[in-house]
Structure 1
Amino acid sequence: MAENSSCCTPEGTCHSGSTSEVAVGEVTTTYKVTGMTCGHCEGAVSSEISEIAGVTSVQAVAATGLVTVTSKTPLDEEAVRAAVDEAGYELAGVAA
């Protein structure tokens, strides 16, 4: 039996199995999300954002509050905000 069946590492980061390569024509946007404190938070935010049509990958990092989203086309920020709200966190906007 595995010691840790969680997708999260001991450092609190999650691995979605996706790579950091972006396909031609895809758009990558980084958002600032407040309230994330651990790997569970990262997973909740990633899961909700992943359900938005066109999203191909999501990487959330609680330590920085940054969520990087790759999608086939630019996303409507209100759709991202709704997904983050559904996960129980707050979208502060696009990261500078």
Structure 2
Amino acid sequence: MTAETETLQSTGSCCSPTGSCHDGAADVRISSDAVTTVYQVTGMTCGHCEGAVSEEIAEIAGVTSVKAVAATGLVTVESQAPLAEEAVRAAVDEAGYELVGTAA
């Protein structure tokens, strides 16, 4: 677990209907490698949301980095090989959000 993700977990949820309490995108980087896929996720509104989605996806075997951006709903995932969409969908669902699919 990175210091950033530990901080997100220790501070709890900051999601509110009034907007974000964090600036920028959550970026969980494990290492760097081969396949990049961009997914569209609905429901993210702030940095905490970005972190929750990033943390869950980062736990999928083969994922090397995740960058979620609440403002666009885009989640960029780097992995050692293509990921099963069902695995990504389950991770996003576990975080409490909805995977629309891959971004066009």
Q: Shorter-normalised TM-score: what interval?
A: 0.7 to 0.9
Offset at residue 14 of structure 1 (A): 2.8
The TM-score normalised by the length of structure 1 is: 0.80
SS at match of 2:26: coil
CA RMSD in angstroms comes to: 2.3
Please tell me whether residue 88 in structure 1 is matched to residue 96 in structure 2: yes
SS at match of 1:46: helix
Structure 1: which 4+ aligned runs deviate by more than 4 Å? Answer: none
1:27 alignment partner in structure 2 = 35
Cα distance in structure 2, aligned partners of 1:88 and 1:74: 23
2:3 alignment partner in structure 1 = none
Q: Structure 2 stretches of 5 or more lacking a match? A: 1-6, 9-20
More helix by share: 2
The TM-score normalised by the length of structure 2 is: 0.74
Please tell me whether residue 13 in structure 1 is matched to residue 25 in structure 2: yes
Distance 1:78-1:43 versus aligned 2 partners, 3 A rule = same
Q: Structure 1 stretches of 5 or more lacking a match? A: 1-5
1:38 alignment partner in structure 2 = 46
